[in-house]
Every structure is written in C-alpha cells, then in structure tokens.
Amino acid sequence: MALNILFAAGPGEWEVWRPHLDTALRKAGLDVTLRPLPDLAPDEVDYILYAPDSSLQDFAPFTRLKAVLNLWAGVEDVITNPTLRVPLARMVDPGLERGMVEWVCTHVLRHHLGIDAHIRNPDHRWSPHVPPLATDRPVTMLGLGELGSAAARALSDFGFPVTGWSRSAKAIPGISCTHGQLGLVQALELAQIVVLLLPATARTENILNAETLAMLPKGAVILNPGRGTLIDDDALLAALDRGHIAHATLDTFRSEPLPADHPYWQHPQVTVTPHIASTTRPETASEVLAGNIARSEAGRPLLDLVDPAQGY
Ligand code: NDP
C-alpha cells in the first residue's frame, strides 16, 4: 500500500521542496503519495514533514501517524507541543552543516584577524597591526552536536586551539572535550572567542548569564548562532558596556524578527545577523528525509530522534 506523506511548512516552501522530495523519495524506492497541507485527510497520513512555522499545530487528528520529521535542526517548538504523541526526528543535513561551518568560520576569522579596523578606517590611518596566528587564539564551542562538532573541527583545521563542551563526555580528535559544570568553567576561562551551538531547552536557558560571562577573559567575543534563549540579554549588554566582552555577533534572539527598538541594533559592539547562520537545504535534506522514512518502513528505528526528556 502506498504511504501518505504530508508536507506542512511555511508559505512558499512546498514549491521549493516538492521537486527535490519527489526525486529523493523515488530514488529511495518508496511508493508514496506526497501532498501539502491540507490535501490529505488527517486519518490517512503516515508521516509528516514538518516546519514549526506551518499552520498545522494540532497533531491529535492524525490517528495513524507514525512519525514527524522536522525540517529544521531546532525542535523546541515541536517537542513541547502537547498533541505530539509520535516520535520526532530532527533535521541533520549535510547542506545545513556546511552552511553553519561557513558562518562560524567567517565570524571567528573576522574577530581573530581584526578585519573591522580596516573596513571602518574613517581617518585612513596606515596601521599595520599584525594579528596573532590562530594557534594563539583559544576558541570554545558550547555544544558538540552535529553542527558544533563540525564547526569545531573546521576551526581546529585552521589551527585554533578548540575546547568543546557538551552534556555527555565526548572524544573528538583535535578538540579538547569537556562536560559538566566544572568543564563549563574550564571552557569559559580559556576562551577568547565563544561559539554557542546548543539547543534551546530548560537546561540551556541563560547559560551565558552575569556569572558565566564574568568567567570569560576580558575582551572575549561571543558568537550565538544557537538560540536567543541561551543568553541573558541584560547581562550581556552590561558586560559589553563595561568592556568585559569586546563584541557579540548574534544570529538568534528571544524574539524574532529582533524588535526595531531592541538595544542590540544600536550597540556599537553588537553585530546582528537575521537568523541566517544556516538553513536546511532541500537538495541535500530531501535525501536525508527519504532515507529515514525508508529505514522506518524497513522496520528499523528512525535516525536523529529527539529525546523528549532532554528536549533535543
Ligand atoms: P545537536 O542536538 O546535534 O547537538 C546539541 C549539542 O548540545 C550536543 O552536543 C549536546 O550534548 C549539547 N547540549 C544539549 N544540552 C546541553 C546541556 N544542558 N549542557 C551541555 N551541553 C548540552 O544539535 P545541532 O548541532 O544539530 O544544532 C544545535 C542548535 O543549533 C540547534 O538546536 C538550533 O537551535 C541551532 N541552529 C541554528 C541555526 C541558525 O541558522 N542560526 C540553524 C540550525 C540550527 P550531547 O552531545 O552530550 O548530547
């Protein structure tokens, strides 16, 4: 019997994804009917390909649903939905990963090389200050999952000494891995540049707060492509104002789009990017989704399942 797969995402997404999904599902040897919301009756749907900006917010009518496959890496808006009673797989996509590696390396190198001083040089001063080599610039990665570990490896390949922090113990060649509360203190005390690639959960909320910001060396730089909830905004603004933190490059915020009157827009030591650090690429992600559904149909567990107890 053909599988019924419902595509439920924001406006305009269906047209972008459809050709890639059609090709990938065919290549995976699946006999499927793929339709956008609301073209399938809820009690006919086997799988939902889902983005949280979809108008679909109630999973209860989907009585024969086997799983929801998220189109985004961040799952905080789905795993907390009380009507979700089937397994949820998050997005792990090679295209998404490459995009995040590029964003992180770009912004680490911007601060490491002090490029801003040359771009903004209103007095046309000849100021040949030579930056240190990457080997003398410790970087800390908070979060060593799919994205954090890929970015950590890329930074290590540049020569940066990278310390990574995660919930469980890890061993990644070339990265000094830590975990636990003591590990967090060690990772922060060392860092000249800190990158946040943690998920938004109850345990990670305000992980950078007045106390943990004070653990960073004076002049440290913060990059947050993770989630806005990871940072206590008032504490960060205070640390920037007193010069303890030299710069923050922020891609994610508690409220998005960032409100026009938010102090981050005006702050000379803050760079705002509009949640573009990376995005799921339908070309590569469609193959991941089709492969995962094929696995499930072959009786094997879905890959990249979210643990509801951990929230990611
Ligand atoms: P993963 O789930 O693969 O990795 C999450 C990492 O965070 C893991 O290393 C995990 O530890 C660690 N972690 C989670 N909770 C804690 C905790 N309480 N203490 C210490 N470490 C913790 O996620 P991804 O790498 O795929 O993505 C990370 C986040 O990036 C996403 O959740 C999303 O919010 C954000 N993102 C942002 C984008 C953007 O454009 N700005 C695009 C895509 C994603 P462990 O390994 O031990 O489980």
pLDDT of residue 283: 98
Fold of 95-272: Rossmann fold (3.40.50)
Structural tokens at position 29: 């040897």
Query: Contact at 8 Å (CB) between 218 and 244?
Result: yes
Angle at CA of residue 265, ends 264 and 269, nearest 5°: 60
Nearest Cα neighbor of 112 from 226, 227, 219, 268 is 219
Query: Is the C-beta atom of 225 inside 6 A of ligand 1?
Result: yes
Cis peptide before 87 (omega within 30 of 0): no
What's the confidence (pLDDT) of residue 53?
A: 95
Core vs surface per residue 247-268: b (16+ CB within 10 A) or e: bbbbbbbeeeebeeebebeebe
Nearest atom in ligand 1 to the alpha carbon of residue 179 is 20
Active site residues: 227, 275
144 lines ligand 1 (CB under 6 A): yes
> End-to-end alpha-carbon separation of the chain, Å?
33
Q: What is the pLDDT of residue 171?
A: 98
Q: Which atom of ligand 1 is nearest to the CA of 225?
A: 41
Nearest CA to ligand 1 atom 4: 145
Residue 149 CA: nearest ligand 1 atom is 25
CA distance 62 to 60: 5
Q: What's the pLDDT score for residue 220?
A: 98
Could you tell me the distance, in angstroms and rounded to a whole number, from the CA of residue 204 to the centre of ligand 1? 10
Closest CA to 143 of 82, 65, 73, 192: 73
Identify the pLDDT of residue 101: 99
Comparing CA positions, the residue from 43, 25, 143 lying closest to residue 34 is 25
Query: Do the two domains 3-93+280-298 and 95-272 of this chain adopt the same fold?
Result: yes
Among 228, 170, 225, which residue's Cα sits nearest to residue 197?
225
> Is residue 203 within 6 Å of ligand 1 at its C-beta?
yes
Looking at the CA of residue 204, tell me the nearest atom of ligand 1.
18
Q: Ligand 1: which of 197, 230, 304, 306 to mutate, most ligand atoms within 8 Å of CB?
A: 197
The residue ranges of DSSP E strands in the chain, in sequence order, are 3-8, 32-36, 47-50, 67-70, 88-89, 139-142, 162-166, 175-179, 193-196, 220-224, 245-250, 270-272
Torsion of CA 262, 265, 268, 270, to 10 degrees: 90
Q: How far is the CA of 188 from the centre of ligand 1 (A)?
A: 17
Specify the pLDDT at position 121: 94
Q: Interface pTM (ipTM) of the complex?
A: 0.99
pLDDT of residue 95: 98
Nearest to 142 by CA among 46, 64, 206, 62: 206
Give dist(CA 137, CA 154) in Å, integer. Answer: 14
> What pTM was computed for the model?
0.97
- Specify the pLDDT at position 1: 73
The superfamily in CATH containing domain 3-93+280-298 is NAD(P)-binding Rossmann-like Domain (3.40.50.720)
Q: Where are the domains of the chain?
A: 3-93+280-298, 95-272
Q: What is the pLDDT of residue 268?
A: 97
149 ligand 1 Cβ < 6 A: no
From first to last of its 312 residues, what are the pLDDT tens digits of the chain? Answer: 789 999 999 999 999 999 999 999 999 999 999 999 999 999 999 999 999 999 999 999 999 999 999 999 999 999 999 999 999 999 999 999 999 999 999 999 999 999 999 999 999 999 998 999 999 999 999 999 999 999 999 999 999 999 999 999 999 999 999 999 999 999 999 999 999 999 999 999 999 999 999 999 999 999 999 999 999 999 999 999 999 999 999 999 999 999 999 999 999 999 999 999 999 999 999 999 999 999 999 999 999 999 999 999
Residue 238 CB neighbours (<10 A): 14
